[in-house]
Amino acid sequence: MILENSLLAALPRRECLQLLAACEPVTLTFGEILYEPGETIRHVLFPGNALVSLLTLADGHLALEVGLIGRDGVVGIPLMLGQTVSAVRALVQGTGSAWRIGSARFLKETRRSLPLRRELYRYTHALMAQISQTAACNRFHVVEQRLARWLLMTHDRVKSDRFHLTHEFLGHMLGVRRVGVTRAAHALQERRLISYSRGDIVVLDRAGLEAVACACYQVVRDMHDGERTAPALHETPVTVAA
């Protein structure tokens, strides 16, 4: 299969293949919890077309999405920083492929490979920027703008005009109750930017969604793109046996 994860794809070919030899391909399933706050991180995952949300919990039951990880990144960054326990819930938001590696082996590979460390540091900063921008976004921007932003972020990662997001999950994304989700989704639908039925979302007008979304979307995307200063050292995509 063609390597879908852009962090892995940015590694020099030899480094990438060496890391993949220590990984196994897995399918992550919608609703699967990879780890809870306070739990030990046993695996690190490089999503392909799977989507993983990071949720912060409040009062033990209220959940708010603070980060979204897809083909652009890696799940398990705390290990890089010397922490073996997660502070957030990592929940699979979109079924799809990923590469999985055990924590001990991951740390061994990061000690061995400078290009891997460089990519992980770069992504750690991008994820921190995404999380901090999200904190400001939740405080200052209205639900419709924020919904447009999350839909664009999802669209970027799944690379498909169609995806599934449940009402409950949209509530977590936006930190609002069901009625707030319904109102915002209807508003976007009335403007013919999306169609939305029972969680099945179709992006009809990408440019229109960008016009509605708050500036947070562009801020995080620009930072993400701008940070990849080191050019990929191989020209062709790495292909590995499925």
Contact track, Zn ion, 99-118, x by CB under 5 A: --------------------
By C-beta, is 116 or 137 nearer to Zn ion? 137
By C-beta, is 107 or 223 nearer to Zn ion? 223
By C-beta, is 67 or 76 nearer to Zn ion? 67
By C-beta, is 215 or 230 nearer to Zn ion? 215
Strand partners, 100: 24, 45
By C-beta, is 61 or 139 nearer to Zn ion? 139
Q: Among 38-46, 58-66, 174-182, 216-224, which window interacts with Zn ion (CB under 5 A)?
A: 216-224
CB of 218 to Zn ion, least distance (A): 10
By C-beta, is 16 or 214 nearer to Zn ion? 214
Number of residues lying near Zn ion (CB under 5 A): 4
CB of 84 to Zn ion, least distance (A): 33
Contact track, Zn ion, 120-149, x by CB under 5 A: -----------------x---x--------
Q: Give the whole-angstrom CA distance, residue 28 versus residue 52.
A: 9
CB of 81 to Zn ion, least distance (A): 26
CB of 170 to Zn ion, least distance (A): 16
Q: Give the whole-angstrom CA distance, residue 166 versus residue 67.
A: 17
By C-beta, is 116 or 184 nearer to Zn ion? 184
Q: Give the whole-angstrom CA distance, residue 72 versus residue 68.
A: 10
Q: Give the whole-angstrom CA distance, residue 115 versus residue 193.
A: 40
CB of 176 to Zn ion, least distance (A): 14
* Exposed/middle/buried for residue 103 (C-beta within 10 Å: 0-12, 13-18, 19+): middle
* Strand runs labelled E in the chain: 24-28, 33-35, 43-47, 51-58, 62-69, 89-94, 96-102, 162-164, 194-197, 200-203
Identified binder of Zn ion from the candidate list 10, 151, 170, 216, rule CB under 5 A: 216
For 3, other C-beta atoms within 10 Å of its C-beta total 19
- Residue 65 φ then ψ, to 5°: -75, 130
**Location of structure tokens 């639908």:** 189
CB of 48 to Zn ion, least distance (A): 28
Which long-range contacts does 202-207 make (Cβ < 8 Å, 24+ apart)?
202/161, 202/162, 203/151, 203/155, 203/161, 203/162, 204/161, 206/152, 206/155
Q: Is 214 in the site for Zn ion (CB under 5 A)?
A: yes
Residues that bind Zn ion (CB under 5 A): 137, 141, 214, 216
